[in-house]
Structure 1
Amino acid sequence: MFISISLRYVHSNGLPFSSTEFKKWVTKFSFRFPYSSSSSTSAVRFSRVHNPKQHRIKVPGLLVHFWSKYWYLIIIQLDFPFANFLRKILYAHLAEPEGVKPIRGQTYLKLSPDRVAMQDASAQMAILQFMLAGMPTTAVPSSIHCDHLIVGHKGAAQDLVQSIENNKEIFDFLQSAAEKYSMSFWKPGSGIIHQIVLENYAAPGLLMLGTDSHTPNAGGLGAIAIGVGGADAVDAMASIPWELKAPEVIGIKLTGKLNGWTSPKDVILHLAGKLTVR
């Protein structure tokens, strides 16, 4: 059996409230329990003074008692159910969630990523910096991918052999560092970093950093994957909270339909160009 729960609220920056702030704004709270199979309107209701919006969700009947006791913790700590998926992942990775009151576009969040991936060109300096931390292993699972130093020229077979010969010292260093610090090592010819990450490491709810511009490709499986520089990757590898400004939310409404050979990616690139290209 499911029971309808009605929530009336006004979002303050769309972010969680402290218990004091929330209770100050709440003007009505009612709860009917227990319920019977014939009851059709068992509900929890919140209302706030200014311009309330109505939201309805459904939860299993057995959770109603829990909700009645801990509703403020759910709303304050998880921003549930008002947060979008991205913000839920970010809040779940706060290094020090106690006392955090993020404001979109202003507050810097200190996050603890789950994983780091590095391509061979940028991994060199990142590893040299990490070595200065004096840690026996990386704080989070990390991987090195040898793909950027492989130059396409005559064909896959010849190019791979030539690139390994030209960059042997670099590849040997990266492999030895990976073995020393318990990092995964993807040797030359094993594949392109963003595709390997998608097929082997990406997962819903994951927060990862990658020293490659195609890192967001892992977002296709419900992860937040962000391309960063080597220094940012080292922060995560050394268990230093990684800082990110609380993201703003942009609403986009698309109308009409795609024509000809236009693909969803064309729409994404067009929107990215309008929003981010200066």
Structure 2
Amino acid sequence: MDRELKVYNILEQPFYITRQKHDTTFNMPVCHYHNVYEIYYLLEGRRNYFIQNKIYPVVKGDIVLININDIHKTMDFNNSAHERILINFKKDFIAPLLDDNNCLLDCFLSENKVIHLNVSEQSFVQSILMKMLEEDRKKQKGYRTYEKILLTELLLFINRNMEKFNEQKRYSSSIQNKMSEVALYLMENYMKKISLKQVAEEFFITPSHLSRTFKKTTGFTFVEYLNSIRIKEARKLLKETGKSVMEIAELTGFESQTHFGRVFKQMTGMSPLQYRKQPGF
């Protein structure tokens, strides 16, 4: 059975921040994406972060930027403990502070998803994050206003330094690069009839090696990742076009409408037609 792809569509509040520590090995149980922006800051430890089609090593003091609908998953690095701060927010939360070009959100469009900070930059960012956590904990009068100000300050800092951040390089193994290429291939060819054997031949490796290495490197099985891309596109077509379910199944690479419906329900909890009728998704 295909594993579930979690789709988070609604936050109960426009801004959310949490601090969490794991003293033992921790891997996200499922891959997911959502309709909010995400900022991840690693306070301690090391992690591997899979985003869209690339694997990023993340170390203490790094910021990870997740755009709306980016498929992602965090994974353990050598059984290490870690502590992180996570922010999710809707565009509406800072809408009054955005200019016509939404430039505060430009950093989420960058190909560079992980930002490596020096010691002074880490201190600056952590001071903002700690103030956010304190405001969210105490919830004193005007705390939401101050959270907007702090988030805006953080986004301004990131955006003003994006050119420098984009020049940063970090070692990535040949295996990680190869699996990133495979993931990109799936993203670009999901609409075709793709099999593990065919992709393995495309990259001159055996199917068993591809299956094992892709899962170990990305945290996704081959089928799980391929289906997640297909269902993500199918959701878009269901909402933005009048195409039939059968047409959408064909356009997203599924072998039949029945298979498409089964996978879609596993991943979203509803049938394609039920999803199309849902308001606000």
TM-score range, shorter-chain basis? Answer: under 0.3
More helix by share: 2
TM-score by length of 2: 0.21
TM-score by length of 1: 0.21
